[in-house]
Chains A and B, each alone.
Chain A
Amino acid sequence: MASVPMHQGLLLAGILFALGLTGLLVRRNVVFILMSLEIMLNAAGLAFVVAGSRWGQPDGQIVFIFILTMAAAEVSVGLALVLQIYRRFKTLDVDAASEMRG
């Protein structure tokens, strides 16, 4: 099986991360923000896997499984918060929930 060169894998991870970050910054809908977060997490996971395969170590994949678990937990909490926000503000716009200003 031909291995993917490392710089291509890292480039892909970087692009994914930048896409996620952009989505996070420009989207106002909470659900989309959560999805952007997932993309960023997976970008980081991809970077781990690529690095693991470059040095022939299993660590990268182990960390990726950790990230998956963490992401699942985070999504469950995040979605619960989304529900609460929707109930309270009757909208999914995060800028509406900006009451904690200094």
Chain B
Amino acid sequence: MFHLVWLIPAFPIASFLVLAIFGTRLSKKAVPLFGVGSIALSAVVSILIMFRFLTSPPPGNHYTQILWTWVDVGGFKPQIAFYLDALSVLMTLVVTCVGFLIHLYSAEFMQEDEGYSRFFAYMNLFVASMCTLLLGNNLLLLFLGWEGVGLCSYLLIGFWYRDPANGLAARKAFIVTRVGDTAMTMGLFLLFDKLGTLQIQDLMHQALLHWAVGSPYAVAAALLLLGGAVGKSAQLPLQTWLPDAMAGPTPTSALIHAATMVTAGVYLIARTHILFSLAPSAQFAVAVVGAATLILAGFSALTQPDIKRILAYSTISQIGYMFLALGVGAWSAALFHFMTHAFFKALLFLGAGVIIESLHHEHNIFKMGGLRKELPLAFWTFLAAGCSLAGLPLITAGFYSKGLIIWDTWSSAQGSHVLWFAAVIGVLLTSLYTFRLIFVVFFGEVKTPVHKRPGLRMMVPCVILAVLSVVGGFLDTPPFLGGVHSFTDFMHLALPVMTEGPAGGMTEILSESFVTLAFLVGLYLAYFFYVQKREYAEKLTAPAIGKALHQFWLSDWGMDWLYERVFVRPIIWIARVDKQDFVDNIYSGMALLTEFCYRGVRKTETGRIRWYAAGIAAGSIIFVAIVLFL
């Protein structure tokens, strides 16, 4: 069974090739057959593998399939090999299943688009790269997938390339993540240089043998890998690309910029968790980055008027929770939140896509309203996902995953009370911006009439994801609510158990109560400002301080402004100044010389055939003369 693992990336890559080569010649019916069918097959294979993994796990709870040796140079011998353990099986399952639902949705969503086959080609390439990233057994193969998903992200953000703004957003995403990737590449060089391998399991083994806890090499390598993770997962300070990435088609935002690719950083850190355990300061940095990001992005999400940008900031904030969990050593809690987040955030984006489509591509939530009656199914699914995101107690998946992270932040030996407090404030913010979005879009009077209703292929994935974003949480519940541990137990096949510290007067039930309280306060504030007293919300931004704060948060704490001045403009200035330097003169001199010769030789092209014949005759005479007399 496990030897079928190579099929998971193989199906999408084959379909990508078919669509990329013959895409324009295929009919509109055949394109989704390849595009969606391949992902469906991958999903089936990953479900089978998951099933097999649960019923009869392989010896040692991991399985490696070596396909062939990629390169063999001077002891450096990375292989094309896939590694299955609880971590990669779970993430592959989520990626292919959520990916399949989003592909199904896209089959209808993108139907009228002229780049229908191109879209599916990119999406399939993305799924193939993502699975390579997750399944690769060495860091080089992981990096191949890592760059592959980055490329697909770039291609899909700039999918509607006729608008220069989309191209700009795509380049921004590519360049900003490249900053992180540079750090990651240096980390890989460092690891290979010091430990002599990139095969992940060997690497971790070697790191344990050679490096003591807190050794400077371990800290440096962990921090460099964290740099890569921060770039890919849009965490502070490299989060600026994700809100702009919403320029891409909505299914892209759902799949790449919410459910899967942006969690690659979480996967990387979880995969190299031994390295982070050897570098406590780096691991603490992960927690701090996560906590800071979840608060800052939460505030930014409060002020956005664009539905997709709200969701983008919310994604940044929720990945902040995952980083926080990784940082305090709650590995399985991070993965649990990854899974529930993939369900509800994908659904929120799909719901946003339905709304945007039905309102003539309207993105501004203040021009929407009263959609509860107009699009009932979209409303109920969106509500389920929104409640899950905000953490509606007891029944939603988000409550269980986020509650677990928050409790672990307190109870872990590496956790701290400040981080716990930040995470609880984050719940308040999440609840506030989520219900602000829901109240403004679905309640109140109708502002824009609905002109198009979604079909079956768009609503079925929404309903399935809505069910998952509710029941997904019951895989792991706190002791006082049933005490199910199936998810945690499964993750502990691959990841270590969190070390608990002194509880310090807090119990899990108390922590969950604080989370519930924060949720309710956020819900009430949203209800008060956006349903009861709508005018108060406007009054808040009326005074100078309110207006300035609003503007500050709207522009994401002025990060773009800062980067524009600190990095972009100086580089452009230097490039402009340096355009005519010595090296450039050599090259332009070569161009000038070539052009001069061309003008001279052009004179001999008279078009008179007899001159040509004379030239040939003279040439051959000279040539023969040279041979004879020299």
List the interface of chain A (C-beta within 8 A of B): 21, 24-25, 28, 33, 94-95, 97-102
Residue contact B609 to A98, C-beta cutoff 8 Å: yes
Which residue of the partner chain, among B604, B606, B613, B614, contacts A98 with CB atoms under 8 Å? B606
Bound CA–CA A95/B602 (angstroms): 18
Residue contact A101 to B606, C-beta cutoff 8 Å: yes
Chain B positions 600 through 630: 1 when the CB is less than 8 Å from some CB of chain A, otherwise 0: 0111111111100110010000000000000
Measured CB to CB, the nearest residue on chain A to B614 is: A25
* Nearest chain A CB to B596 CB, angstrom units: 15
* Nearest chain A CB to B133 CB, angstrom units: 55
Measured CB to CB, the nearest residue on chain A to B621 is: A21
Residue contact A24 to B602, C-beta cutoff 8 Å: no
Residue contact B613 to A100, C-beta cutoff 8 Å: no
* Nearest chain B CB to A78 CB, angstrom units: 12
Best-buried of A94, A97, A102 by chain B (most CB within 10 Å): A102
Residue contact A100 to B610, C-beta cutoff 8 Å: no
Measured CB to CB, the nearest residue on chain A to B617 is: A21
Chain B positions 439 through 457: 1 when the CB is less than 8 Å from some CB of chain A, otherwise 0: 0000000000000000000
Within 8 A of A (CB), among B574-613: 601-610, 613
Residue contact A102 to B609, C-beta cutoff 8 Å: no
Chain A residue numbers with a CB within 8 Å of B603 are: 102
List the interface of chain B (C-beta within 8 A of A): 601-610, 613-614, 617
Residue contact A95 to B613, C-beta cutoff 8 Å: no
* Nearest chain B CB to A42 CB, angstrom units: 17
Chain B residue numbers with a CB within 8 Å of A95 are: 608, 610
Give me 22 A-to-B residue pairs in the complex whose CB atoms sit less than 8 angstroms apart, sorted by A's number: A21-B617, A24-B610, A25-B613, A25-B617, A28-B610, A33-B610, A94-B608, A94-B610, A95-B608, A95-B610, A97-B607, A98-B606, A98-B607, A98-B609, A100-B607, A101-B605, A101-B606, A101-B607, A102-B603, A102-B604, A102-B605, A102-B606
Chain B residue numbers with a CB within 8 Å of A25 are: 610, 613-614, 617
When A and B form their complex, which 4 residue pairs have the shortest distance between CB atoms, in order from nearest?
A102-B605, A98-B607, A101-B607, A102-B602
Bound CA–CA A102/B603 (angstroms): 7
Measured CB to CB, the nearest residue on chain B to A28 is: B610
Chain A residue numbers with a CB within 8 Å of B607 are: 97-101
Residue contact A98 to B617, C-beta cutoff 8 Å: no
Bound CA–CA A97/B607 (angstroms): 8
* Nearest chain B CB to A32 CB, angstrom units: 11
Chain A residue numbers with a CB within 8 Å of B609 are: 94, 97-98
Chain A residue numbers with a CB within 8 Å of B602 are: 102
* Nearest chain A CB to B141 CB, angstrom units: 54
**19 other contacts beyond A25-B613, A102-B606, with CB at 8 A cut-off?**
A21-B613, A24-B613, A25-B614, A25-B617, A28-B610, A94-B609, A94-B610, A97-B607, A97-B609, A98-B606, A98-B607, A98-B608, A98-B609, A99-B607, A101-B605, A101-B606, A102-B602, A102-B604, A102-B605
Bound CA–CA A22/B604 (angstroms): 21
* Nearest chain A CB to B50 CB, angstrom units: 70
Measured CB to CB, the nearest residue on chain B to A94 is: B609
Chain A residue numbers with a CB within 8 Å of B608 are: 94-95, 98
Measured CB to CB, the nearest residue on chain A to B608 is: A98
Bound CA–CA A102/B607 (angstroms): 8
* Nearest chain B CB to A58 CB, angstrom units: 28
Bound CA–CA A99/B601 (angstroms): 17
* Nearest chain B CB to A99 CB, angstrom units: 6
Measured CB to CB, the nearest residue on chain B to A27 is: B610
Bound CA–CA A98/B612 (angstroms): 11
* Nearest chain A CB to B615 CB, angstrom units: 10
* Nearest chain B CB to A91 CB, angstrom units: 14
Bound CA–CA A94/B612 (angstroms): 12
Chain B residue numbers with a CB within 8 Å of A99 are: 607
Bound CA–CA A99/B606 (angstroms): 8
Chain A residue numbers with a CB within 8 Å of B606 are: 98, 101-102
Best-buried of B602, B604, B609 by chain A (most CB within 10 Å): B609
Chain A residue numbers with a CB within 8 Å of B604 are: 102
* Nearest chain A CB to B332 CB, angstrom units: 75
Bound CA–CA A28/B610 (angstroms): 8
Chain A residue numbers with a CB within 8 Å of B617 are: 21, 25
Bound CA–CA A101/B608 (angstroms): 8
Bound CA–CA A83/B105 (angstroms): 66
* Nearest chain B CB to A19 CB, angstrom units: 13
Bound CA–CA A25/B606 (angstroms): 15
Bound CA–CA A33/B612 (angstroms): 13
Bound CA–CA A68/B601 (angstroms): 37
Measured CB to CB, the nearest residue on chain A to B610 is: A25
Bound CA–CA A102/B608 (angstroms): 11
Bound CA–CA A21/B606 (angstroms): 20
Measured CB to CB, the nearest residue on chain B to A95 is: B608
Measured CB to CB, the nearest residue on chain A to B604 is: A102
Chain B residue numbers with a CB within 8 Å of A94 are: 608-610
* Nearest chain A CB to B582 CB, angstrom units: 34
Chain A residue numbers with a CB within 8 Å of B613 are: 21, 24-25
* Nearest chain B CB to A21 CB, angstrom units: 6
Bound CA–CA A28/B613 (angstroms): 12
* Nearest chain B CB to A13 CB, angstrom units: 15
Measured CB to CB, the nearest residue on chain B to A102 is: B605
